[in-house]
Structure 1
Amino acid sequence: MGSVSSSPVPRVPESRSERKERTRRAILDAALDQLADESFGSLSLRRLTKQVGIVPTAFYRHFSTLDELGLALVDESFATLRAMIRDVRRGEPAPDTLIDRSVDVLSAQLDANMAHFRFIGRERYGGVTVVREAIARELALFERELATDLARMPGLERWGAADLALLAGIFVNLMVAAAGEMVSPEAEDAAVRRGIEDTLRRQARMVVVGAAGWRPLGG
């Protein structure tokens, strides 16, 4: 009995919108690759498009300027992390639980999106104003969302807005500083990485203990 040969499944042609999205993604990935070793201000459009395999003028079909590319990188760097941290805070967990979950989420996100966090860490105080300001806005949004959640925690219900904002800012600054250490070459050593995470947990708990004895200023 002869074997029945199956005909190859016809390949569905890629649509124009799919090609455009694939090229846009390639530009973002190439930018992250180059930004691993240089600042956004020194990013070269010619080198970037050469790596992607397009002519420089084709870049402008996807981004009107290099600054717009930078803003897109900021947006996608924060989008997933913000959603995951929001999920961690859901259900009003106890402070220790919130700290541990947040550190775990941060660590997992760093592993999954190392290039994004290196970009954020370098450009937070970088020379390109529009990118630096976009990062500052994202961090401020983190602080506002966290302050809202902190206001519902036992012992903090009577704190004023100024004190809650200050406490939220301390937590966010701790997380950002730790993230910068976690993406450093030294943190590729597992023991160093664990040490950074443990230090972050202890620092955050110290803040919680201090907050318990703080006399709100009001406002």
Structure 2
Amino acid sequence: MTVHTCALIKSALVTETRGERKERTRRAILDAALQLCEDSSLVALSLRQVAKEVGIVPTAFYRHFDSIEALGLELVDESFASLRAMLLDVRRSDPDFDDIIDSSIGILVEHVHQQRAHFRFIVRERAAGPPRVREAINAAIEQFEKELATDLVRLTGTTTWSPEDLQILSGLIVTAMVGLAEAILRNPDRPDAEKAIVEGARVQLRMVLVGALNWRSKR
């Protein structure tokens, strides 16, 4: 092995180590922001608070994010990404209304438990966050509605619907799912209450779909 090759390998290892260290710091900043926002909103959070919580100097914050608002946008993306992908898989693998309802609710409930801090963040910032963060959350929810409307046309009973009516139905479904997540967050550590909430959401969605399947769209 030549001296030049050894130098290249050493350089690659150093670069990888620095990359891993940077990613750990970035992750620590995101986690610190989630924790510090538990009882307030991003609008009340300063980068100095975050930097102090992570153990870095304030100027180091800018190596990862341009602003607190940019950090918030990253948390929005992080909060929705995996849930959106899993719900898409459910709808596209088993086009049956009852199965879609049960599977989608199951996935949502699981995500709320696994990523409670992220969902609490979304609920808070949707109402009181910085403008760009609120817009990003609403845009993500609208994207859910658009994707659902696209998939609904593949299901029996909706093939003759207008795009506008499909959008209305998808909006009703997504609104019910958002309400379910918020209700679970309002009742932490109460299994009986959560069970009733989940069952109520399941019945609500089935009632919506029963009515929808009897709808005749005017084109």
Using the size of structure 1 for normalisation, the TM-score is 0.90
Counterpart Cα distance in 2 of 1:164 and 1:131: 27
The one-letter code matched in structure 1 to 2:209 is: V
How far has the Cα of 1:16 moved from its partner? 0.9
Corresponding position: 1:116 with 2:103: no
Counterpart Cα distance in 2 of 1:93 and 1:199: 22
Counterpart Cα distance in 2 of 1:34 and 1:201: 34
Instruction: Give the conservation status (yes or no) of the 8 Å contact 1:92–1:153.
Output: no
**Number of aligned pairs?**
206
The gaps in structure 2 that reach 5 residues or longer are: 1-12
Which among 39, 57, 72 is matched to residue 41 of structure 2? Answer: 39
Structure 1 runs, 4 residues or longer, greater than 3 Å off: none
Corresponding position: 1:129 with 2:131: yes
Partner of 2:193: 192
Partner of 2:68: 66
How far has the Cα of 1:181 moved from its partner? 1.0
The one-letter code matched in structure 1 to 2:44 is: S
How far has the Cα of 1:215 moved from its partner? 2.2
Secondary structure of the residue aligned to 1:215 is coil
Counterpart Cα distance in 1 of 2:44 and 2:108: 28
- Per-residue CA deviation, residues 112-156 of structure 1 (Å, 9 max, x unaligned), is 100000011111122411000001111111111100110111110
Instruction: Give the conservation status (yes or no) of the 8 Å contact 2:29–2:51.
Output: yes
1:17-36 pair list within 5 angstroms = 17-36=19-38
How far has the Cα of 1:49 moved from its partner? 0.9
The one-letter code matched in structure 1 to 2:159 is: E
The one-letter code matched in structure 1 to 2:122 is: I
Corresponding position: 1:167 with 2:169: yes
Instruction: Give the conservation status (yes or no) of the 8 Å contact 2:95–2:154.
Output: no
Which among 89, 93, 96 is matched to residue 98 of structure 2? Answer: 96
Aligned alpha-carbon RMSD (Å): 1.3
Instruction: Give the conservation status (yes or no) of the 8 Å contact 1:181–1:187.
Output: no
1:129-168 pair list within 5 angstroms = 129-168=131-170
Instruction: Give the conservation status (yes or no) of the 8 Å contact 1:27–1:49.
Output: yes
- Per-residue CA deviation, residues 87-120 of structure 1 (Å, 9 max, x unaligned), is 1112242101100000000011111100000011
Partner of 1:8: none
Counterpart Cα distance in 1 of 2:124 and 2:25: 25
Partner of 2:51: 49
Counterpart Cα distance in 2 of 1:44 and 1:194: 38
Counterpart Cα distance in 2 of 1:163 and 1:108: 30
More helix by share: 2
The one-letter code matched in structure 2 to 1:191 is: D
The one-letter code matched in structure 2 to 1:68 is: A
Instruction: Give the conservation status (yes or no) of the 8 Å contact 2:101–2:205.
Output: yes
Counterpart Cα distance in 2 of 1:82 and 1:210: 26
The one-letter code matched in structure 2 to 1:203 is: Q
